[in-house]
Amino acid sequence: MDDRMLRRRVYGADHDDPDPGPRPGHVYGELVGGPLDGLLLDITGWSAPRLAEEARLPTEIGRHGPGGRTHYRRRPADPGRWDWTCDSP
């Protein structure tokens, strides 16, 4: 992992976590756009079919507020990045 990625916060880490960054031995995708822009998604152990699916991530900061989800899809030309597609209730 490069230094830039080591300073990033992982999706799902608590805001008061003293070390919300990536963990050694894990694989991450960068979330691009939408409410979770810049966070890292831990995709460690995901199968090829799961990686091809859209990730529907619970978030309170999306268009639909608490209980909503934001959707990201892996970028075919750059699989390390996951692009925002929409928010849903």
Q: What is the pTM of this model?
A: 0.88
- Ranges of each domain in the chain: 3-88
Q: How confident is the model at residue 57 (pLDDT cuts 50, 70, 90)?
A: very high
Which runs of consecutive H residues, i.e. helices, occur in 1-89? 3-6, 48-52
User: What confidence score (pLDDT) does residue 7 get?
Assistant: 73
CA distances from 6 to 35, 53, 75, 80 (A): 21, 26, 21, 15
